[in-house]
Amino acid sequence: MRRSSRLGLRPLREIAEAGLQCFTQRGFRLTQMSDIGAELRMSPSAAYRYVESKEALFHIAALHAAGISLDDLPMPVAVGDLAETVLSIEAIVHSWPRWPALRAALDHPSPMSLLEDETAGIATELYDFLAATWRLIVLLDRTANDIPSLKTAFTQQYRAPYLTDIVTWFARRYAGDGPTEALARSGIEAISWLAMRRRTDPAAAAITEEEARRGATHCLYALLQASQRPPQT
């Protein structure tokens, strides 16, 4: 096995964090190895002591974003090509939950008297998932156009089926005559902002995690509840 001593080197997670920042900001195609040196204030060539290529840098950035330990990887890290990283991401995606609350609501709808609880369960599981995986999701969103196979691994295999299911559920529960898909998607976007985008929005710094999670549980129900109200006279 190829091994390199870590003596005198920074922890690999620092290199992965710098790579994650660069790929998230610039995408895969525009990120250069010299950007990592600039991010960490070291010489451009120093990054090659940690990873052998930009592809290897993206690999450890994705693993780091997914919360996977890099401690046992020998340095400099090498990967054959991006297909190896896509396979790793596919394995991560397949390990993610398959939305038990949403699945239960589709298969065994609650009585209308329990709609608030049903909706809160769906919103909460979405919030908790996004809050736990947001850094990897942002990375995949930013680089998917540069690495088309990521769209298959994430967007087509995971995100698209979820959107289909939640729009189906919302349409069954919505009693109004508004655009159900647009309303469902707006609820999802609100939850996504609370769970993900809020974390990088300086204007949202005062919102606590508890407040964000509680707000997310009300997003979808507020949309559904509006359709249950009698018209104003």
- Alpha-carbon distance of 88 to 186, in angstroms, equals 31
Do 54 and 31 meet the contact criterion of CB atoms below 8 Å apart? Answer: yes
- The model's pLDDT over 194-209, given as tens digits with 9 standing for 90+, comes to 999 999 999 999 999 9
Length of the chain: 233
Describe the crossing of helices 209-228 and 180-195 by its angle, rounded to 10 degrees. Answer: 170
At 7 the pLDDT is 53
Consecutive 10-residue averages of pLDDT for the chain (233 residues) = 58 95 95 90 88 95 95 92 92 90 96 94 96 95 90 85 95 89 94 95 95 92 74 44
Q: Which residues pair with 51 in a beta bridge?
A: 77
**3 state SS for 149-213:** HHHHHHHHHHHHHHHHHHHHHHHHHCCCCCCHHHHHHHHHHHHHHHHCHHHHCHHHCCCCHHHHH
Q: Do residues 135 and 142 make contact, with C-beta atoms less than 8 angstroms apart?
A: no
pLDDT of the residue at 6: 61
Q: What is the pTM of this model?
A: 0.87
User: Which pLDDT score, from 0 to 100, does residue 44 have?
Assistant: 75
pLDDT score recorded for residue 216:
92
For residues 2 and 74, is the Cβ–Cβ distance under 8 A? yes
pLDDT of amino acid 17: 96
